Chain A
């Protein structure tokens, strides 16, 4: 067994929006399924987890600009070195659904886009939300696959509300049986509650700071679960057992803080 960054190169960079880039890799990440992630290493800079936004022969990660590390990712161009470890984590379980709904908040669409493509035959409904129209990335990619409901905070595309505001309506109207979600954790918490109320299963992808990605260090803990190995995708049953979900996360040095402090630190 060996787990460390594998040398790769950038095949191309696609600008999805002002603040988002997709980095396509020259070498594929074999065996990955939607919802799994890779550890991206920029030598001398840092290493962080990113969900695979493309797979099956054309692996890519989609990155939102945030801080020092992503500034460096934004400088990458074709042919540049990039270390890639993984794939890691469990990924979404696609066998359990008949009528899936996919709900994405902002960059949360990254792991959900390949999921939507994989589920295409089951005619999923996608709810994509973002602050503005410009920030609704993968819009065309998703519209090709299935029915898409858009929401924006400013009303520049689709309905002017949060993605989770229309979930209940979609669940009822389309007789959804499983909801797949990724996005800010406050949104996911609402998604979880709506699903519970409507007796619909959900599978939500969580995010925490990660050191090892290998299930040994505990930095990604949510209660007794490790986001890197037990997750990042968790079922309704697992989520219902988590007291920290939607409330607390840990900073790099292990301090437990409220979610808003965690997100402020991530920026």
Chain B
């Protein structure tokens, strides 16, 4: 990776051309939108809102299913930067099935979305439990061959560090944290109705940054594998904060709304300035320093 910023899953990663664009806008790596076992239509609108402090969404993991994504996956090399593929399933078997198909395209990482709060069957149950998360990781490792496997965890777990540790022991090559927080709800008081059609939605953006920092910090304490820190990054300082907490790389999603699609470039510029002012030459030197 030419820099530590990664386009987070669920944002823009619908096709190779869009991923290429995000790389041009400065991302060090990019992630395909979460791919499931079969066609899933997602929720009705409104699905994504921005309030004063963050975003709230219930998109509902829409996906054409891995079979219809194969055309895009096959062209991954054209993106010109490492491509992560995020996958989800409602059971260990489904995760295994999608992972096996995806691994054939040799992505830089397979990310396991064991943590989406917006769908009832998929994900959430796994991410809250050490045992289930570890089972998914082990099953996927089994079929992923050389492709690194990275479960994406949720802040909702009672002890995110223990879930991370269980995943590491099951063979995970890295840990991503966190997914959206909540679910939360916003009501339009004149309409007297929840604004999201699905009513409840996951919260992202600046509102959740402290939770993301704490989770990355907790995880760093207990695992030795690299951490992708995600949650509320909009500025260079936020990347540095997550790296000091223990992240090796940092995911950006909602930041696209707050700063534009070139948020990656802006954030990297801001990091450079901070590092120069504070006497850092190598970004790697930032990792985990808040623990010392």
Contact = CB atoms under 8 A, between A and B. Distances in A.
B5 interface: no
Given A7-B188, A224-B20, A219 B14 contact: yes
Interface stretch (B33-41, B82-90, B121-129): B33-41
Nearest to A241: B17
A221 B42 CA distance: 17
B105 interface: no
Nearest to A82: B191
A43 B62 contact: no
Contacts of A99: none
Contacts of B188: 4-5, 7, 43, 83
A3 B48 CA distance: 9
Candidate in A1, A3, A39, A221 with the most chain B CB atoms within 10 angstroms = A1
Contacts of B191: 5, 7, 43, 81, 83
Contacts of B261: 215, 226, 229
A216 interface: yes
Interface in A204-258: 210-219, 221, 223-226, 229, 243-244, 250-256
Interface string B149-188: 0000000000000000000000000000000000000101
Interface stretch (A44-52, A59-67, A157-165): A44-52
A37 interface: no
Contacts of A216: 11-12, 48, 55, 253-254, 256-257
Nearest to B33: A218
B50 A214 contact: yes
B61 to A, nearest CB: 9
A252 B62 contact: yes
A48 B47 CA distance: 11
Contacts of A256: 15, 64, 68, 71
B74 interface: no
Given A2-B52, A81-B190, A255-B39, A223 B15 contact: yes
B52 A215 contact: no
Given A1-B50, A81-B191, A253-B39, A211 B21 contact: no
A4 B64 contact: no
Contact of B47 (A7, A212, A218): A212
Given A4-B195, A211-B59, A217 B46 contact: no
B10 interface: yes
Contacts, number: 133
Interface residues of B, number: 47
Given A47-B197, A81-B190, A216-B257, A211 B12 contact: no
A41 interface: yes
A253 B197 CA distance: 16
Contacts of A83: 188, 191, 195
Contacts of B46: 4-5, 39, 41, 47
Interface residues of A, number: 40
B197 A46 contact: yes
B28 interface: no
Given A4-B195, A216-B12, A211 B49 contact: no
Contacts of B20: 224
A250 B195 contact: no
Contact of B42 (A7, A46, A214, A252): A252
Given A218-B13, A221-B15, A255-B68, A4 B41 contact: no
A254 B12 CA distance: 11
Contact of A4 (B42, B50, B59): B50
A67 to B, nearest CB: 13
Contacts of A81: 190-191
A44 B192 CA distance: 11
Given A5-B46, A255-B39, A217 B51 contact: no
Interface string B8-30: 00111111011011001000000
A217 B17 CA distance: 14
A211 B64 contact: no
Contacts of A217: 10-12, 47-48, 59
Interface of B: 10-15, 17-18, 20-21, 24, 33, 39-42, 44-52, 55, 57, 59, 62-64, 68, 71, 186, 188, 190-191, 193, 195, 197, 253-254, 256-258, 260-261
25 contacts: A1-B52, A3-B50, A3-B257, A4-B51, A5-B195, A7-B190, A41-B45, A47-B197, A211-B42, A211-B45, A211-B62, A212-B59, A214-B257, A216-B256, A218-B13, A218-B18, A219-B14, A226-B12, A244-B17, A251-B64, A252-B41, A255-B64, A255-B68, A256-B64, A256-B68
